[in-house]
Amino acid sequence: MLIYKSTVSGFLSDFQGSDIGDVVRNAYESKTQRHAPEAEIRAWSASLYHMAITVNNGSIPDDAGVAIEYSIPQSAKRIDFIFSGYDQSHNPVLVIVELKQWSSSEKTNKPGVIIARRGPGSGREGPHPSYQAWSYAALLNGFNEEVYSRKMGLFPCAYLHNHPVNTAIDSPFYMDDIKRAPLFLKGEHERRRLSQFISQHVRHGDAAKVIEQVDGGRMRPSKALADSITGMLKGKQEFVLIDDQKVVFESVCATASRATDTNKKVVIVEGGPGTGKSVVAVNILAALTKMGLLTKYVSKNAAPRAVYKAKLTGNMRYTEISNLFCGSGAFVDTEPNAFNVLVVDEAHRLNEKSGLYGNLGENQVKELIRSAHCTVFFLDEDQAVTLSDIGTKEEIRRWAESMGATVESCGLSSQFRCNGADGYLAWLDNTLGIRKTAHEFLGAGTYDFRVLDSPTELHELIYERDAKDNGARVVAGYCWNWSSKKDPSAVDIVLEGGAYRRRWNRTEDGSLWMIARTAVEEIGCIHTCQGLEADYIGVIIGPDLVVRDGKVSTDYKARALVDRRKSLSGIEKIYRQNPEQALKAADRIIKNTYRTLMTRGMKGCYVYSEDPETRAYFASRAAVV
């Protein structure tokens, strides 16, 4: 999506005619149907004032294209300013400008990471503006078919009109980033340098045609982590780390390299669905292994590990694969500090006890911290989906402090699933009644969310999506018994008066269900899809979640008995002792389960409930208003 599009002459005309911040605000509110925050309007006014002065010197073609606030496909990121046109040979080019109002900054010891200061007071770590501009160009090239197929020239740079030269930001430490995306700072000389940089690449105008082609460009297929893991572990840059992903990656690597048996470290990394927790975790695994640190990737859920191992088979020796991945219950008898680093993904799923019967060890969090110099926990407490999940920040801090480990915390917020639709996640939390947000209605957007009136219709839609690249699956709340597990001829899920008949995922696929070729025929559950993703996900909401008079209510007794014994083990005992506590705990688990299921799709989510009022509720909340 593009907020503002014009030419250099049109941009200058808008600037001279009124406050350019107001022009962009009106365009923003028209395109998004949302009010622009006042702080953002002020930022537009200030930065665009300097951009107008920069281009008002005649060196840049009057009919060169200008774009402001371009949303990069499949991410929540926006490019501040783009110039478009043609180079000397009439090839299409884009100059990408990252605008900052920083007045000072402070160097870190982490590549590509700097401390920003926009005024008095303390700053915070973030990506160096040159790294940020370069990474946005890489994202655009990676996700936009027009940019990629037409081999458009991409020339990123950063302009900090308030920041003086010869300070931390342009120090030799950041020279690699500045070479990839030149940095322009405060002063008339710097402004002339920026103008020369733009005119050097944009030699002929295009009347914004190149920008129109980019804005209308088809999205390239998304990379799935499972398909890219082999390259990542061999040192290839399969994913460009963006903004907070870069900061977390460099911070964890720096912390891990300093940790020892007498200087134990624990890092807690929080992030919601699609923020790149697993991508960053695997990048850390690869980087630390390359540094010679003995590192393992750990997860409670077997499904991600099984998928990663399957993708690596044939590219790495079995012993190498086994040494990289393991379950969270494997550290009961591990010697203290046996590993340099343990990278724990989906840490919210950790259990107290280990073993098949849950009778081994004392506490998985304790055992993981004890076993390594540095333990990194990636978690999202809102994806805890069983009563036995204990991986909370509080629990991790408690055990870390008891073992003398220093705790560091950081977060991931950049959204790369659900087509980068941060609003979808906020809307989903509000719609499911998990937390109140400002997103009461979903509205128009790039994420394909639909409510279907029939499970057959939903499954047919998933068939269509899956035919392209095995990238679509149907999942459901665990409200039907798994009869086909023992009797392959049995049918598990029967809906629509018997017209829709399906089985749960086959036992022979096990944890590999999400990538099995025949999996589109079947239905998966929370235990076979958590920690993984598909392009499109179909979700059948069971009778454990219904809506009455606009209120979402849950009923744990509507869960299949087999899952009540697994996800809700002990709930009956809690209910006898404290009914209110039991219902509150079960409500959280059920809502978290559907939140997790409904965020597995990178491009779309299709929902069906057998209950008409529940369907109507979701449809009304998803309506464009």
Task: Report how far residue 624's alpha carbon sits from residue 120's, in angstroms, rounded to the nearest whole number.
Answer: 42
Q: 479 pLDDT exceeds 80?
A: yes
Query: How much is the pLDDT for 315?
Result: 82
Residue position matching structure tokens 């990069």:
72
Query: How much is the pLDDT for 625?
Result: 43
Query: How much is the pLDDT for 317?
Result: 84
Higher pLDDT residue, 142 or 185? 185
Q: What percent of the chain has pLDDT over 90?
A: 65
* Half-sphere exposure for 279 (CA within 13 Å, toward CB): 25
Which residues is 476 bridged to in the sheet?
540
Which residues is 534 bridged to in the sheet?
601
DSSP state of 208: T
pLDDT band at 264 (very low <50, low <70, confident <90, very high): very high
The answer to whether residues 74 and 416 touch, using CB atoms and an 8 Å cutoff, is: yes
- 80 φ, ψ (degrees, to nearest 5): -65, -50
Query: How much is the pLDDT for 371?
Result: 97
User: What is the average per-residue pLDDT within 154-171?
Assistant: 96
Sign of the alpha-carbon torsion through 348, 353, 355, 358? negative
Sign of the alpha-carbon torsion through 32, 35, 37, 41? positive
Query: How much is the pLDDT for 3?
Result: 83
Return all residues near 127 (Cβ < 8 A) that are at least 6 apart. 112, 113, 114, 135, 242, 243, 246, 247
Query: How much is the pLDDT for 624?
Result: 53
Query: How much is the pLDDT for 237?
Result: 81
pLDDT in tens, 576-587: 999 999 999 999
Query: How much is the pLDDT for 321?
Result: 83
Could you give the C-alpha distances from 36 to 20, 27, 81, in angstroms and in order?
Answer: 14, 10, 17
* 622 alpha-carbon distance from chain centroid: 21
Strand 545-548 versus strand 551-554 pairing type: antiparallel
Averaged confidence pLDDT in the chain: 90
Task: Report how far residue 605's alpha carbon sits from residue 607's, in angstroms, rounded to the nearest whole number.
Answer: 7
Query: How much is the pLDDT for 445?
Result: 67
How far does the chain reach from its first CA to its final CA, in angstroms?
18
* 3 alpha-carbon distance from chain centroid: 23
pLDDT in tens, 18-70: 677 677 777 777 776 667 677 777 777 888 889 999 998 889 999 999 999 88
The encoded tokens of residue 402 equal: 């008891």
Sign of the alpha-carbon torsion through 212, 213, 216, 221? negative
Query: How much is the pLDDT for 275?
Result: 84
Coil, helix or strand at residue 410: strand
Query: How much is the pLDDT for 422?
Result: 62
Q: 429 pLDDT exceeds 50?
A: yes
Instruction: Please tell me the pTM assigned to this model.
Output: 0.87
Q: What percent of the chain has pLDDT over 70?
A: 94
Residue position matching structure tokens 């669905």:
273
Beta-carbon neighbour count of residue 123 at 10 Å?
Answer: 15
Higher pLDDT residue, 36 or 548? 548
User: What is the average per-residue pLDDT within 276-281?
Assistant: 90
Q: 312 pLDDT exceeds 90?
A: no
Could you give the C-alpha distances from 389 to 76, 285, 339, 364, 447, in angstroms and in order?
Answer: 30, 24, 24, 11, 30
pLDDT band at 470 (very low <50, low <70, confident <90, very high): confident
Q: 568 pLDDT exceeds 70?
A: yes
DSSP state of 518: T
pLDDT band at 357 (very low <50, low <70, confident <90, very high): confident
- Could you tell me which of 456, 618, 595, 580 has the C-alpha nearest to residue 523? 456
Q: 309 pLDDT exceeds 90?
A: no
Query: How much is the pLDDT for 23?
Result: 76
Query: How much is the pLDDT for 225?
Result: 75
The answer to whether residues 299 and 364 touch, using CB atoms and an 8 Å cutoff, is: no
Biggest alpha carbon–alpha carbon distance for the chain: 79
The encoded tokens of residue 499 equal: 């017209």
pLDDT band at 379 (very low <50, low <70, confident <90, very high): very high
